[in-house]
Amino acid sequence: MTDPRDDGDGADPSTEGVAADAESAGESPVGTDGSPSYDPQDVEDPAAGDEDRPVAESVETPGEPRTLDPTVRVEWIVGPLFGALLTAAVVGFITWAVAAKYLPFDRVSSAVAVGGGLFVLSLVYGIVRTVFLYRSWRYVVREESLYLTRGVLTRVQTVVPYVRVQHIDTRRSAFERVLGLSTLVVYTAGSRGADVTIPGLTPDTAEDLQSRLERLAIASEDEDAV
């Protein structure tokens, strides 16, 4: 005998009522066997949005303006002193040689006065220049470029786009190794002499900055190629 509640499609009216109530309430609908049914559109794709994600997110965020290590002031003062000392010695010798004929002073006193005075002036000039030069030095790792500013009488501002960076090196002279310093050199594409140098960095800072700029340069090339 046929059940009058059976409409011939095999569906249970009670189950259909539960599904309709679940849909109207905003809940997950249930299947014919009472188990929850899932809509494929409701499942979030974990790979969705990867194409729209900018490449710069995988690169370290650029920081604030940075100064050089204070020890670089010793390098800037002591380094030129050797040249100043040599110049003072040459000028003192010339003064000693001509003092007897052209100057009414003792030859030794004249040589010491002229050579020593020149050396003291060079020392004072080097100290004053180093103080102002150190205060003027700043470099900023921006999102798309490396920015540098420095200079005493003439302020020089340099912007190096990462897309123009070819490679980056670190170098240390004998005097820099004694002081525990390092220099970063950024080689760029373009005219000769367009390379950028950042002195007065600690070895750890130079290596970290080198790796950071290399990642930014690679990311910039990828974005430029798209």
- The pLDDT assigned to 58 comes to 33
* Residue owning tokens 């009414």: 104
Report domain 139-225's class: mainly beta
What's the mean pLDDT in 37-58? 41
What's the mean pLDDT in 71-89? 89
Q: Retrieve residue 95's tokens.
A: 């003064």
Q: Which among 160-169, 190-199, 214-223 has the top mean pLDDT?
A: 160-169
* Domain residue extents for the chain: 72-135, 139-225
The helix/strand/coil state of 54 is: coil
* Strand pairing category for 165-171 and 156-161: unpaired
CB-based burial, 65-74: b 16+ in 10 Å, e otherwise = eeebbeebbe
Residue 63's pLDDT band (boundaries 50, 70, 90)? low
Cβ-defined contacts of 144-149 (< 8 Å, 24+): 144/220, 146/186, 146/196, 146/213, 148/196, 148/198
- The pLDDT assigned to 104 comes to 65
- The pLDDT assigned to 192 comes to 63
Q: What is the pLDDT of residues 126-183, one digit of tens each?
A: 999 999 999 999 999 998 899 999 999 999 999 999 999 988 999 999 999 999 999 9
- The pLDDT assigned to 204 comes to 95
- DSSP class of residue 166 equals E
CB-based burial, 114-143: b 16+ in 10 Å, e otherwise = bbeebbeebbeebeeebeebbeebebebee
Residue 207's pLDDT band (boundaries 50, 70, 90)? very high
| pLDDT exceeds 90 at position 91 | no
Question: What is the spatial distance between Cα 118 and Cα 91, in angstroms, rounded to a whole number?
Answer: 8
Please state, for a pLDDT cut of 70, what percent of the chain lies above it. Answer: 65
